[in-house]
């Protein structure tokens, strides 16, 4: 329950960012602000400050001010990290949730088709999943990203621009399909043997109707259980892709890109990288706890066996 609360809070804070972040930060989180200044203790302070080395060579962005503006300091382009964190979280969460939904949709279709139709369809789909699974997930995602991010992709009438947020959604959903399709297929196989399905077949109910009316509602628990877990994986994958500049493209932000921004500043201004990382850990942990709780609550097999 705590997990759910944390999750809701993070999601709300991030999703509503466009409404309030500007009033708090007073700067544009997407525009460079290297020459900017802010008021601290009544003094005007440069956002880019001279380094502490003896010769004061080079400039470092300001550290955490612990005030509304530049709460967590600035990144190398003088942008407010806290504000970017909120906008970035919005992208990260939207992409992760979108990818999870799309992934479950695809996996659901594949799993139902494989499990219910069986035979050649099952063999083909299962082999396809094996093949996809053989490519390490991140490498697969990277390969797809590099192809799609380097130029726009035209799929029939749809054009995906290289900086579209739909690209990471699509890629992450695709690479985790085998992960989700396997348990769904197993569940469908079990359901197919169930008596109510046998009965429906015996009564001559058409296949598509059995799928929709009998199989799908019973799959709901499996899908609900997988949801948070897939979203947790998707969020991690998104941050990894963005960290490698293959996910969310500048000037848009996501937690992964902010970590990347912070990489160069890790020794001088660690907060730039630490804050988004912590955000990821908290959200993913909450999702995992949620998924765990759902599994315990929904999985009847696990609940107590007792000797007679």
Site residues (vs another protein, CB under 8 A): 127-128, 130-132, 134-140, 142-144, 146-148, 150-155, 232, 236, 239-240, 243-246, 256, 259, 262-263, 266-267, 270, 273-274, 276-277, 280-281, 284-285, 287-289, 292, 302, 305-308
- Least distance to another protein from the beta carbon of 7, Å? 12
Instruction: For the chain, count helices (H), then strands (E).
Output: 12, 6
Identify which of residues 17 and 259 has a Cβ nearer to another protein in the complex.
259
- Residue 66 gets the label, from left (phi > 0), alpha (psi -120 to 50) or beta, of left
Identify which of residues 84 and 200 has a Cβ nearer to another protein in the complex.
84
- Residue 42 gets the label, from left (phi > 0), alpha (psi -120 to 50) or beta, of left
Identify which of residues 116 and 243 has a Cβ nearer to another protein in the complex.
243
- Least distance to another protein from the beta carbon of 291, Å? 10
Compute the distance between CA of residue 163 and CA of residue 200 in angstroms, rounded to an integer. 48
- Determine the Cα angle at 286 with ends 280 and 287, to 5°: 90
Identify which of residues 18 and 136 has a Cβ nearer to another protein in the complex.
136
Q: Which long-range contacts (CB under 8 A, 24 or more apart) does 269-274 make?
A: 269/60, 269/61, 269/63, 269/73, 269/75, 271/63, 271/64, 271/72, 271/73, 271/81, 272/61, 272/72, 272/73, 272/75, 272/81
3-state secondary structure 36-59: CEEEECCEEEECEEECCCCCCCCE
The alpha helices in 151-270, defined as continuous H runs, are: 166-175, 177-193, 195-202, 207-210, 216-243, 255-263
- Least distance to another protein from the beta carbon of 66, Å? 20
Structure tokens at 138: 């991140």
Identify which of residues 112 and 175 has a Cβ nearer to another protein in the complex.
175
Identify which of residues 2 and 35 has a Cβ nearer to another protein in the complex.
2
Identify which of residues 38 and 148 has a Cβ nearer to another protein in the complex.
148
Q: Are 69 and 44 in contact (CB under 8 A)?
A: no
- Least distance to another protein from the beta carbon of 304, Å? 9
- Least distance to another protein from the beta carbon of 29, Å? 21
- Least distance to another protein from the beta carbon of 165, Å? 19
- Least distance to another protein from the beta carbon of 214, Å? 29
């Amino acid at each position: 329950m705590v997990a759910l609360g944390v999750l809701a809070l993070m999601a709300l804070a991030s999703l509503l960012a466009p409404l309030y972040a500007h009033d708090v930060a007073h700067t544009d989180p997407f525009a460079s602000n290297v020459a900017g200044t802010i008021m601290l203790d009544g003094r005007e302070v440069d956002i880019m400050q001279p380094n502490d080395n003896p010769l004061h060579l080079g400039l470092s962005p300001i550290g955490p001010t612990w005030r509304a503006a530049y709460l967590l300091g600035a990144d190398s382009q003088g942008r407010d990290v806290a504000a970017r964190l909120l906008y970035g979280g919005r992208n990260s969460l939207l992409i992760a949730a979108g990818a999870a939904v799309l992934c479950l949709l695809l996996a659901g279709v594949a799993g139902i088709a494989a499990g219910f139709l069986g035979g050649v369809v099952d063999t083909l789909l299962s082999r396809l999943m094996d093949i996809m699974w053989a490519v390490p997930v991140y490498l697969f995602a990277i390969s797809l990203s590099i192809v799609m991010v380097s130029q726009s992709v035209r799929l029939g009438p749809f054009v995906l621009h290289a900086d579209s947020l739909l690209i990471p959604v699509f890629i992450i959903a695709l690479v985790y399909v085998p992960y989700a399709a396997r348990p769904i297929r197993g569940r469908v196989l079990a359901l197919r043997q169930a008596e109510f399905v046998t009965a429906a077949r015996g009564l001559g109910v058409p296949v598509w109707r059995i799928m929709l009316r009998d199989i799908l509602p019973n799959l709901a628990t499996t899908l609900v259980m997988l949801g948070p877990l897939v979203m947790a994986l998707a969020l991690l994958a998104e941050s990894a892709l963005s960290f490698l500049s293959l996910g969310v493209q500048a000037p848009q932000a996501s937690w992964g890109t902010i970590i990347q921004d912070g990489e160069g500043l890790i020794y001088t201004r660690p907060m730039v990288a630490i804050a988004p990382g912590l955000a990821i850990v908290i959200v993913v942990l909450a999702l995992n706890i949620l998924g765990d709780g759902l599994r315990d609550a929904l999985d009847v097999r696990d609940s107590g066996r007792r000797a007679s």
